[in-house]
Amino acid sequence: MDEQEDKFQKMRLEMVEKQIESRGVKDQRILEVFRKVPRHKFVARNLQKQAYTDEPLPIGEGQSISQPYIVAYMTEQLKLGGGERVLEIGTGSGYQAAILAELCDSVFTIEILPDLSEHTAQTLQSLGYSNIQFKVGDGYRGWLEKAPFDAIIVTAAPDHVPQPLIGQLKIGGRMIIPIGEYYQELYLFRQTDEGLQKEKKLPVRFVPMRGEVDEH
């Protein structure tokens, strides 16, 4: 490993200990994945030194890569065991998709900005991820051809729950989603035999979901 990569590795271990583990994320599989995935490869060169700090970072086109702890927290809520098919809305930098790809069978990720989707698909391919499928489009409608999903993670904030996503969740499936306008709350939805269960989790700030969401 070269010296620079060695430095990033150290920063990554510290990030896991001080930002993620200390705040209560306990799943060992998840912690291991955060120690491994090179977050600095998902940001522009001039921001690589900040890649392991406790904050979101800009990724261009007004979008951002979420704070590491929030990525970990949302991932943990999905309770992935390894065999799942997971839908992500808002590919962005691809960091969340890479984390998911390490923890489940296949990831389906939708991004509304074509250039960003293409750039990120290349990044993930160059890192060797082969279980992620990309789609350019409006995630409000989900991905019907690939549904149903065991888990859904939404990383751009709508002001209401997109109904099509609920319909693409398997019984026993989970969806984690920020809902609100400027300030949002993370909600966990669970599809059960007795219907949909909803639980409010944490206050968060994500970029707003765009597109069809504004018509409803």
CA distance 85 to 25: 22
Out of 112, 165, 176, 204, the residue judged to bind ligand SAH by CB under 6 A:
112
Q: Annotated catalytic residue: which of 22, 64, 66, 126?
A: 66
Annotate each residue in 130-159 with x if it binds ligand SAH (CB under 6 A) or - if it does not, as one string.
--------xxx--------------xx---
Rule CB under 6 A: is residue 34 a binding residue for ligand SAH? no
| Beta carbon of residue 95, minimum distance to ligand SAH (angstroms, whole number) | 4
Rule CB under 6 A: is residue 162 a binding residue for ligand SAH? no
Rule CB under 6 A: is residue 168 a binding residue for ligand SAH? no
| Beta carbon of residue 16, minimum distance to ligand SAH (angstroms, whole number) | 17
> How crowded is residue 98: how many other Cβ atoms within 10 Å of its Cβ?
25
| Beta carbon of residue 41, minimum distance to ligand SAH (angstroms, whole number) | 12
For residue 146, the one-letter residue type is K
Rule CB under 6 A: is residue 110 a binding residue for ligand SAH? yes
Residue 101's H or E segment, with its range, is helix 95-103
Full DSSP string of 8-66 = HHHHHHHHIIIIIITTT---HHHHHHHHHS-GGGGS-GGGGGGTTSSS-EEEETTEEEP
CA distance 45 to 80: 32
Q: Pairing state of beta strands 63-65 and 57-60?
A: antiparallel
Out of 19, 66, 75, 191, the residue judged to bind ligand SAH by CB under 6 A:
66
> How crowded is residue 68: how many other Cβ atoms within 10 Å of its Cβ?
23
Q: Looking at the annotation, which residues are catalytic? A: 66
> Residue numbers of the site for ligand SAH (CB under 6 A)?
63-66, 89-90, 92-93, 95-96, 110-113, 116, 138-140, 155-156, 207, 209-211
